[in-house]
Structure 1
Amino acid sequence: MKHLPAIAGGQPIRAELLPFAKPTLDAADINAVSEVLKSGILVDGPRTEEFESAFAEYTGAKYAVAVSSGSAGLHIALRASAVGHQEEVLTSPLSFPINANCILYQQGIHTFVDVDPSTYNIDISTLRQKITMRSKAIIPVHFAGQPCDLDPIYKLAEERNLVVIEDATQALGAKYKGKKIGSMDNMTVFGFDATQNLTTGEGGMVTTNSEENYKWLKIFRNLGLVRDPDLLVSPEGPWHYEMQDLGFNYRLTEIQASLGLTQLAKVDDFLKRRKEIACLYNEAFTQLHSIILPFQMPDVESSWHHYIIRLQPDLLTADRLQIYLALRAENIAVDVNYLPIFLHPYYKWLGHPDICTLEGSLCPQAEEIYKNIISLPIYPAMTEQDINDVITAVKKVITYYSK
């Protein structure tokens, strides 16, 4: 009975469910939030500016603009890039739907590019083939925290006069060829939800080295309003402000910024812990030949937002659903990240010829990968016992169902 999965009548590895993700918060975080509440300044205060400056310094960018979410960041980055009606934006289908939703907000056209079967990041050769005369921008997604191969992407963008907006919502602290993600001249978008390596509950940041982009991002974040006396069209006095473009209420609160500051001070420790857990998983699962472990390119350092195993159906007697349920029965909360965006009902219903395909597969690699992947818990708050329980459960279930 010891090696029999709980789903088949054995004893579960854990008595209580191990969460899939959990934020790492301490007294410093709580005190920082409390101090803001006591101050009475809850928005448009010094904490937000301090957080932006500290974040820019951490990533190596000249400028950083705090926003209410990573989704908001992607939206205003596209708006600052002047992406408009019927202009194409190329991106990966393996992402959360907002990656493509923000393109629709700008009345653009999303063009999904298939992914590399090893890294699960955007495939460069396919990207080149998908570019047309209407293409305006590329949004490479650093999937699960592993940076895309950026050099050929930027080279291609320069050749075809395209804007690059990096989706680094899962990649804070990750590096490409020794440089932190977010330090490039383009715009890079980060997210701070509860599962991220830095959390503000909800929130995000856009980094850039362009002063022009920086100015537009600030305008679009704050309802299109301008208060700088030097930029006003008809200044009337110290109280005066003007709406100079169509913007959005995408501001980060002082409460969130205060939490972001204390979290940012611990990001490198969080990253170190995630890498330690990933190394322990890699070492423990090496002999499980019916699964494929995460592949890492030699010139990158992942933030390990997700640790994803890929099942090999030909070597197993169970499908992904059965494996998923078996791990849950062991009280290990696993997940699946992500359903290719174009397979969501809304995107099928749009009827665009690149989306509503009647036969064949739009991005066959992405669809095949999705069918067989499972994400395991990986976050700094995990104890040694938590990690050992995940390892034991995976070995137990995969071994039982292996041919």
Structure 2
Amino acid sequence: MIPYGRQSISEADIAAVVDVLRSDFLTQGPAIPKFEQAMCAKVGAQYGVAVNSATSGLHIACLALGLGPDDLLWTVPNTFVASANCARYCGADVDFVDIDPVTQNISVTALAEKLRTAERLPKIVVPVHFSGQPCDMKEIAILARQYGFKIIEDASHAVGATYFGEPVGSCQYSDIAIFSFHPVKIITSGEGGLALTNDAALAEAMVMLRSHGITRDATRYEQPDRGPWYYEQQMLGYNYRMIDIEAALGLSQLGRLDAFIARRNQLAARYDDLLSGLDIQKPKVLPNRLSSFHLYVVRLTVRDADRHRRVFEKLRADGVGVNVHYTPVHLQPDFQRLGFAPGDFPEAERHGATAISLPMYADLSDEAQLTVVNSLINALGE
């Protein structure tokens, strides 16, 4: 089976992990700040807070921005459920904005119209950089200033991407950005995520929230210092810490990030060429953006559930591990119980009903990619 995504692990990665295993610290040691600092240097952000998953990062980002009951978060339906669930973890409500038919990112036109007519404005908007292509962050930031909402970039797909020459994660147009280091993402730490920000207070809050709401900083104590053993829980936090084993792997992987991005873009360009002339919609990267190409998603041009399934199953039968990104979040049973229904976000629904994610990862060989293409050609012809 050719998977739709997989990690690329080098001997240097293995050695980095072994070094930690032989060290004094498996968790809460020096590898974590080294990884945080290296990621900040790479993307140009001031503060990085490593966590055990991007989902955890989204959660504590919402909490740090004060999201709670009676508040509202907007995101897109074309994403993994975590982009919406982070609001619900905080007791807040969630709503969606439909996607752009070309980029499958949040539609700025739809966002502006929803803001203009909304009876209740969001406290936070979470744009998702789908497949690794950055959203229209300049335009979203303008709307944020006009309507007073905060921005969390769900950049889980977009480690290594750039927007008008600036790395995604610099937070130039957002309050917080979240990376994912799941094995199918651009670089991996096994599991893991990172929250990036340029706001010292937000960073400080997220550091505490990832570790039970506890501080050992004597200058912050609310009660008298009772001795060198003392610590204070000052808020309700969580055990969302990354461990040193993961941080060491992530730091080692970071050294190959540029090579990974170059290879993924090379593979995407080759897909574009090999798939030319087929009756499918291929990904389109807008000007002034470098996609990290976490995914390479094609869409059938006609919405036909039976054909969509036949093409998908034929590829799987040929040993091509395709996937669908995504079944729209608002169509999940748990969200339909909140009142969402088919027809609410038509473009996201069209996307989910026609999309197929082809294999895309740095170690995908030219030969394996040709196998994928030939299988797709045959599947489309049946």
Q: Same fold (TM over 0.5)?
A: yes
Equivalent position to 2:316, from 325, 328, 346: 328
Q: Across the two proteins, how many residue pairs are aligned to each other? A: 376
Equivalent position to 2:25, from 41, 44, 52: 41
Distance 1:317 1:106, change over 3 A: closer
What code does the residue aligned with 1:247 have? Answer: G
Q: Does 1:277 align with 2:267?
A: yes
In structure 1, distance between residues paired with 2:294 and 2:3: 15
Which whole-Å deviations, capped at 9, do the CAs of 1:225-266 have from their partners, x for residues lacking one?
011111112212222110001110000001000101100111
Counterpart position of 2:284: 295
Shift of 1:128: 2.0
Equivalent position to 2:106, from 114, 122, 126: 122
* SS of equivalent to 2:247: helix
In structure 2, distance between residues paired with 1:202 and 1:330: 30
What code does the residue aligned with 2:373 have? Answer: I
Counterpart position of 1:366: 348
Equivalent position to 2:370, from 388, 394, 403: 388
In structure 1, distance between residues paired with 2:364 and 2:309: 25
Distance 1:317 1:73, change over 3 A: closer
Q: Does 1:350 align with 2:332?
A: no
Counterpart position of 2:233: 243
Counterpart position of 1:70: 54
What code does the residue aligned with 1:173 have? Answer: G
In structure 2, distance between residues paired with 1:135 and 1:325: 40
Shift of 1:317: 11
Shift of 1:66: 0.2
In structure 1, distance between residues paired with 2:97 and 2:348: 9
What code does the residue aligned with 1:258 have? Answer: A
Counterpart position of 1:165: 152
Counterpart position of 2:218: 229
Counterpart position of 1:14: none
What code does the residue aligned with 1:332 have? Answer: V
In structure 2, distance between residues paired with 1:100 and 1:87: 13
Q: Does 1:153 align with 2:140?
A: yes
Shift of 1:130: 2.5
What code does the residue aligned with 2:143 have? Answer: L
Identity among equivalent positions (%) equals 36
Shift of 1:331: 1.4
Tell me, yes or no, if the aligned pair for 1:191 and 1:204 is still in contact at 8 Å.
Answer: yes
Tell me, yes or no, if the aligned pair for 2:98 and 2:348 is still in contact at 8 Å.
Answer: yes
TM-score (norm 2): 0.96
Equivalent position to 2:329, from 331, 341, 362: 341
Tell me, yes or no, if the aligned pair for 1:138 and 1:163 is still in contact at 8 Å.
Answer: yes
* SS of equivalent to 2:246: helix
Q: Which runs of 5+ in 1 are unaligned?
A: 1-16
Shift of 1:20: 2.0
* SS of equivalent to 2:310: helix
TM-score (norm 1): 0.91
Equivalent position to 2:182, from 183, 193, 197: 193
Q: Which runs of 5+ in 2 are unaligned?
A: none
In structure 2, distance between residues paired with 1:129 and 1:138: 14
Q: Does 1:95 align with 2:79?
A: yes
Please identify runs of 4+ aligned residues in structure 1 that moved more than 4 A.
Answer: none
What code does the residue aligned with 1:347 have? Answer: F
Tell me, yes or no, if the aligned pair for 1:88 and 1:108 is still in contact at 8 Å.
Answer: yes
Distance 1:194 1:64, change over 3 A: same
In structure 2, distance between residues paired with 1:241 and 1:366: 47
Tell me, yes or no, if the aligned pair for 1:90 and 1:127 is still in contact at 8 Å.
Answer: no
